[in-house]
Copies of this chain bind each other. A is one copy, B any other.
Amino acid sequence: MAKTAISPTREEDYPEWYQQVIRAADLAEVSPVRGCMVIKPWGWSIWENVQKVLDGMFKATGHENAYFPLFIPMSFLEKEAEHVDGFAKECAVVTHHRLEPGKDGKLVPAGPLEEPLIVRPTSETIIGSMYAKWVQSYRDLPILINQWANVVRWELRTRLFLRTTEFLWQEGHTAHATEEEAREETSKMLEVYADFAENFMAMPVIKGEKTAGERFPGAVQTLSIEAMMQDRKALQAGTSHFLGQNFAKAQEIKFQDQHGKECFAWTTSWGVSTRLIGALIMTHSDDDGLIIPPKLAPKHIVLLPIYRNDEERTAVLAYVKSLKVELESQKYSGESIRVMIDDRDLRGGEKNWQHVKKGVPLRAEIGPKDIAKNGVFLARRDTGEKVGVGREDLVATIADRLDAIQKNLFDRALAYREEHTRNVDSLDDLIAWFTPKNTAEDKAEIHGGFAMCHLVDEPAVDELLKKHRLTVRCIPLAGAVDEGTCIVTGKPVTKRVVVAKSY
């Protein structure tokens, strides 16, 4: 068996493989603060690229950015009953505004606040309170605002990127004069997320509606995009909520319509987070480490000069530097090619493996022999393919080569999902498919996938699925009517839903 850069492999221990990929790529680390992570420069660069692309998409769909307070007064949370239930259990609560030396000289909290403040777990309530001030007339609508921010949800079990107490995200919050317009916004932003996931992350997603039990606390409708990871679990990669008038009523976002009648606004919210980095890792990476889709890669290509003495070094570095400039003059996906030269004093093999593990899409080794042929020795991260390429050829084809990688990553993820998606028409079959052979604690082999089932949207169904660690991931928006009977209740259903284990 070939030795892999990451140990264990996906097959051997998927959760541990995930941690080791992050470590080997130097993406992030746990911090001394329980549940909070440190995002290191390579991981942060990917997030910067995610932000840049999404921000452009939000602006192209008419949204503006703004910034609202980190803190939410406790009383604001209380206004929307379901919202409180959803978030009260996992809030970081600020109760004091000073530290003072205590009896033993150690610091103790002092200056108690009259009303405790919550560190925002999401900002519907604080932003809504401002919208209530800003909206008087139908002329003040719509309000189409997005915020890039950190949020905090106290988590007991955390995992880097996937579930952390503090995470970074964007949250869109819009207010509209009509239900129709708000529903359109909800759908439009789901499309934006799906476009980003598929065309930038190279991650195929299913667009769908959440069942009642999985809705955002306080929402009338929650839409989501769901992706399959390489352990065949589903990951919810983005959500868009139609909030109806629930928050508008709780916060008095009211306006006078064209006829002078006072109406409540219709609101939406939608968000994606640093969780996307976790999704990216688990969709594409292999047993040699991270693979980054070129459109989001901090560097598209690394140039690795090879030489044995100072004389060779001078010639090789000159060649490499001028090649870098030439490559940077090319564009891929509207951006200049991002080139890195790695001339660190490290053994060539070790250096090469570092870039494999970091997921750089292309690596070019360049030594005296390559220069003699006026070319480079080029390796593709996704397929492992290695080939000699002439310099002019490389410059002329770099964008196409990156695009081929981008496309291959999407195709292979889609093939994986299709291979592990099937119609399941009885509860027994469903349970059987999601029962691993290896039942020892935490040792389950990769199993299951996306089961397409006829199920009604009722709490009893959710309860039963939950016993088997399953959930309805979504009711897909696409697809024709496919009538059948619920495999739990026997009631008639017109469409299959996606059932899976999930993150």
Contacts and interface: CB of A to CB of B under 8 A. Distances in A.
A471 B78 CA distance: 46
A485 interface: no
A29 B69 CA distance: 11
A111 B109 CA distance: 16
A208 B73 CA distance: 41
Contacts of A89: 98-99
B109 A116 contact: yes
Interface string A33-59: 100111111001101100000000000
Contacts of A152: 70
A119 to B, nearest CB: 7
A247 interface: no
B72 A99 contact: no
A109 to B, nearest CB: 4
Interface stretch (A60-68, A281-289, A311-319, A361-369): A60-68
Interface string A57-101: 000000011111111111011100000100011111111111110
B90 A107 contact: no
Interface in A103-133: 106-107, 109, 111, 116-119, 126, 129-130
A154 interface: yes
Q: How many copies does the complex hold?
A: 2
Given A78-B106, A107-B77, A119-B119, A36 B98 contact: no
A89 B109 CA distance: 10
Please classify how large the interface on chain A is, using the bins under 10, 10 to 19, 20 to 34, 35 or more: 35 or more
Contacts of A90: 97-98
A150 interface: yes
A129 B32 contact: yes
Contacts of A95: 93-96, 109
A31 interface: yes
Contacts of A64: 41, 44-45
Task: Report which residue of A48, A64, A92, A126 has the largest number of chain B beta carbons within 10 angstroms of its beta carbon.
Answer: A92
A168 B37 CA distance: 20
Between A32, A152, A166, the greatest number of chain B beta carbons within 10 A of the residue's beta carbon is seen for A32
A145 interface: yes
A33 B145 contact: no
A76 B33 CA distance: 10
Most chain B Cβ neighbours within 10 Å, of A29, A47, A93, A98? A93
Nearest to A95: B95
B69 A36 contact: yes
B126 A32 contact: yes
B92 A97 contact: yes
Given A77-B99, A90-B98, A29 B107 contact: no
Contacts of A78: 106-107
Contacts of A98: 88-91, 93, 154
Contacts of A117: 33, 92
B84 A91 contact: no
Interface string A339-381: 0000000000000000000000000000000000000000000
A130 B37 CA distance: 11
A139 to B, nearest CB: 9
Interface in A138-180: 145, 149-150, 152, 154, 166, 168
Contact of A67 (B38, B66, B97, B118): B38
22 contacts: A31-B68, A31-B130, A32-B129, A33-B69, A33-B126, A36-B70, A38-B69, A39-B67, A74-B107, A77-B99, A88-B99, A91-B96, A91-B97, A91-B99, A92-B96, A93-B94, A93-B96, A93-B97, A94-B95, A95-B95, A96-B116, A111-B154
Given A29-B130, A45-B64, A89-B99, 18 more contacts: A31-B68, A31-B130, A32-B73, A33-B72, A38-B69, A38-B130, A44-B65, A45-B65, A70-B152, A71-B166, A88-B99, A92-B94, A92-B96, A93-B95, A93-B99, A93-B109, A96-B116, A149-B150
Query: What 9 pairs between A and B have smallest CB-CB spacing?
Result: A36-B69, A41-B64, A88-B99, A93-B96, A39-B67, A97-B154, A93-B109, A33-B69, A95-B95
